[in-house]
Amino acid sequence: MELSATDPAFQSIQSLQWIYLVIFALATGEAIKGLFAPGSAEEQAKPLGVAKVYLWRLVPLIAFLVLVVPFVQGMGRFLFEVYHDPAGRTSTYGLCLLGDFVAFSVEAGLFFFLARKLQPENWRAFYLGVLAILLVDVLWAGCVIWVRDYPEILGWLSANVIGLLALLAILLMFGLPRTTRERWYGRALAPVVVVARTFLDYWWCWNLYFPAPQAA
């Protein structure tokens, strides 16, 4: 039996899912708006006139979008796979669902933080926020795998651990730069790590993100 509107749990699952999806949508809108919003006092003093795009914010924006897409898609796929079949739910599924909701909502809130840190001078805060997202997701995924016996997201967890360690190394090496060159190294390498993490995530969890069509 599949999850449907007649299932008593349908409304609970759907309503909790919509809450964090709204936060993700607001964060994405805020990030895109950041391309046009002046940040520094010097920028705010300039006349706006025709809408100006701050192109130097494109790199963190791309990193934001590359990270947010698999997170939103993965959360939706996970909830469907775990809760779509009523026969597979235990009597404590409500506690598990609330735990998923709390973790996803915290991550969505951290994405909103990222959306406000697109300016180049805030690159350390931006990638510290990415570190926080990956850490929360690693803790959540670890609980799901070991406590709830759901190894299907092991690739998801592995990609996050690799991304977290690589990003932490970059921030430790270039987070407090002594030269302008070191600062640019950090700003150039960090988004590469984010893109690589997403690539590994899709590579290792392709069947979870895009399951094969079932035969009729």
> Does residue 184 belong to any structural domain of this protein?
yes
Look at residue 51 in the predicted model and tell me its pLDDT.
Answer: 44
Look at residue 88 in the predicted model and tell me its pLDDT.
Answer: 62
Look at residue 142 in the predicted model and tell me its pLDDT.
Answer: 93
CA–CA dist 5, 152 (Å, integer): 26
Tell me how far CA of residue 109 lies from CA of 18, 104, 157, 206, in angstroms: 14, 9, 20, 26
Whether 150 contacts 124, CB under 8 Å: no
Look at residue 110 in the predicted model and tell me its pLDDT.
Answer: 95
Task: Say if residue 87's pLDDT is above 50.
Answer: yes
What are the pLDDT digits (tens) for 185-203? 888 999 999 999 999 999 9
Q: How is residue 85 written in tokens?
A: 């079949």
Sign of CA dihedral 82, 85, 86, 89: negative
Whether 131 contacts 171, CB under 8 Å: yes
Look at residue 38 in the predicted model and tell me its pLDDT.
Answer: 63
Domain count for the chain: 1
Write the DSSP string, 38-64: --SHHHHHS---SPPP-GGGHHHHHHH
CA–CA dist 182, 185 (Å, integer): 5
**Model pTM?**
0.86
**Mean pLDDT calculated for residue range 112-117:** 92
> Does residue 5 belong to any structural domain of this protein?
no
> Does residue 215 belong to any structural domain of this protein?
no
The Cβ of residue 32 has, within 10 Å, a number of other Cβ atoms equal to: 14
What are the pLDDT digits (tens) for 121-174? 888 999 999 999 999 999 999 999 988 888 889 999 999 999 999 999 999 988
DSSP annotation of 8 reads T
> Does residue 94 belong to any structural domain of this protein?
yes
> Does residue 3 belong to any structural domain of this protein?
no
At 84, phi and psi to the nearest 5? -70, -25
Can you give the residue range of the structural domain that contains 172? 10-209
Tell me how far CA of residue 133 lies from CA of 9, 72, 144, in angstroms: 28, 13, 16
> Does residue 159 belong to any structural domain of this protein?
yes
> Does residue 200 belong to any structural domain of this protein?
yes
> Does residue 214 belong to any structural domain of this protein?
no
Report the mean per-residue pLDDT for the chain. 83
